[in-house]
Structure 1
């Protein structure tokens, strides 16, 4: 197991290096001069002399590879640079807003699990019934609706028309309802469909028939035996979906004015704030690869066969 983790860590370091280079390069390919943007924000006339002086001060006159090398050396030490817009440390700005994004991601995850698991189980257990047809229809609709459109629908009905929930900002638990539903419902439809397919496959295996022959209750078979084996492919998908949940917060936070790093990223893109964009991509990549490593390790706890296989290889 330790050898496997070490191999994965080396691979993840290479991934992080590639992501950092792409993030740095792509941000510098965007049109517009950040020096000119900063001067306009400070109410300074962006004359050629002023722009040249600002570019020199910001280090934008160096070759891209030199800029990348300097930035990467600082990033390894935990310094993601200083925001062009706020003049504050990018890492501090991101960490200050990260709890709001994590809170929204957890709310979306709760919605995802509360909707997808019961719906997937019922759909598999009552195959080809009205419940199954409803679940499949829900999965089709949920996978087809864009999150921003779903969020606008929620705002219109539950905030504007009926005034049931607040629509902007972060505060009480009520502020989490609409953003959490927007973030989690779309993916819960996909998970319900995946869980249904996985459960149907497991329910057709021999050990389920043996359990039924022993006289076990269907509820015990469904929850105690089938569900645990059906969760393995879903754990794999969840590791990748967490990245989509975190990425999806960019749209949801913008729609609901949620003060997280997603909204901060959008504001920074409009002002050509390169350090913030690069820091955001690097932080999200670090979270994504870490979660995927944890998902891989969790396989050994979900499926004992993989644990035994790992022991055999280590010998």
Structure 2
């Protein structure tokens, strides 16, 4: 197990290097002069030269890349142009809100997605099974921002049950977390159902049933454990998907997280802040994939030696 952890950690090094490369080259890929885009009509030779130096555009790309990598070892993501403070400090202030929202959404997705998928298998061929399959498809088809706007109008303005935006107690989190979780609930429900049905059709399950093992015993001792492996993969991918969806959700519900900060930085052309936000999201997604890989080994010991 220790060797597996070390091996997976070593994989992260080139991934991080590639992410930093893409983040650093972003400014060079912007059409036109990014300095002129930022300053607009207020550009003067002095301010242009100062901003070009602050962004590092007066140096070759390889030098900026090395400087960014060295700064990353000190958790230095540069200086925000608009706010005039370190990007690291802004990320540290806004990241907990995004993490809180994402954890709430993934918890809802796991509980209701896997729960409805399991119940759908147990009631296969009934009206409940058909209803779960239909609702899961509807959940997949609805965009997060559209669901968020519907929730705001229905539960915020019309019924006045919940606050329409901001951050505070749990009542502020209900609408954004549910809106963010709905597509993932649909995916996990369908994946759990399909994985369990495939497992139930395997030879060892039929053998266990022939030996007199109860349906509940087959489910808990054989089917559920093996069916969880592909589901865990989807959960890990959905966690990353939820972080991406948090960008829209936080904007719709005025949730002060890293996603909303990144959107604000894009509109304000604060490129160091955009780079920092994208880098943090990418690093977290990479770590989630690492955790998913390690969870495979806990569920299926054969993978520890693969």
TM over 0.5: yes
* Residues 44-92 of structure 1: per-residue CA shift (max 9 Å, x gap): 9322443233323443322233222222221122111111111111112
Aligned mate of 2:107, from 105, 110, 124: 110
Query: How many residue pairs were aligned?
Result: 306
SS of residue in 2 equivalent to 1:156: helix
Q: CA separation in 1, counterparts of 2:255 and 2:32?
A: 27
Q: Which moved more, 1:269-278 or 1:186-195?
A: 269-278
The 1:80–1:50 alpha-carbon spacing in structure 2 relative to 1, beyond 3 Å, is closer
Q: CA separation in 2, counterparts of 1:66 and 1:100?
A: 34
Does the 8 Å CA contact 2:144/2:180 hold for their aligned counterparts?
yes
The 1:60–1:69 alpha-carbon spacing in structure 2 relative to 1, beyond 3 Å, is same
The 1:278–1:222 alpha-carbon spacing in structure 2 relative to 1, beyond 3 Å, is same
Q: Which moved more, 1:121-130 or 1:149-158?
A: 121-130
1:35 CA drift (Å): 4.3
**Match for residue 22 of structure 1?**
22
**Match for residue 275 of structure 1?**
272
- Tell me, yes or no, if structure 1 residue 170 matches structure 2 residue 171: no
* 4+ residue segments displaced more than 6 Å: none
Does the 8 Å CA contact 1:104/1:180 hold for their aligned counterparts?
yes
1:224 CA drift (Å): 4.2
Structure 2: gaps (5+ residues) = none
Q: CA separation in 2, counterparts of 1:180 and 1:56?
A: 41
Q: CA separation in 1, counterparts of 2:215 and 2:232?
A: 24
Q: Which moved more, 1:293-302 or 1:174-183?
A: 293-302
Q: CA separation in 1, counterparts of 2:302 and 2:6?
A: 21
Q: What is the TM-score with the length of structure 2 in the denominator? A: 0.92
1:209 CA drift (Å): 3.0
**Match for residue 203 of structure 2?**
206
* Residues 226-258 of structure 1: per-residue CA shift (max 9 Å, x gap): 222211111112222211111111010010000
**Match for residue 121 of structure 2?**
124
Q: CA separation in 2, counterparts of 1:15 and 1:59?
A: 23
**Match for residue 154 of structure 1?**
151
1:260 CA drift (Å): 0.4
SS of residue in 1 equivalent to 2:42: coil
- Equivalent positions of 1:218-297 (< 5 A) are 218-297=215-294
> CA RMSD for the aligned pairs?
2.1
* Residues 101-145 of structure 1: per-residue CA shift (max 9 Å, x gap): 011001101210221112101111222221221121112111111
Does the 8 Å CA contact 1:33/1:272 hold for their aligned counterparts?
no
- Equivalent positions of 1:13-52 (< 5 A) are 13-31=13-31, 35=35, 45-52=42-49
1:285 CA drift (Å): 2.0
Does the 8 Å CA contact 2:140/2:182 hold for their aligned counterparts?
no
Structure 1: gaps (5+ residues) = none
1:7 CA drift (Å): 2.7
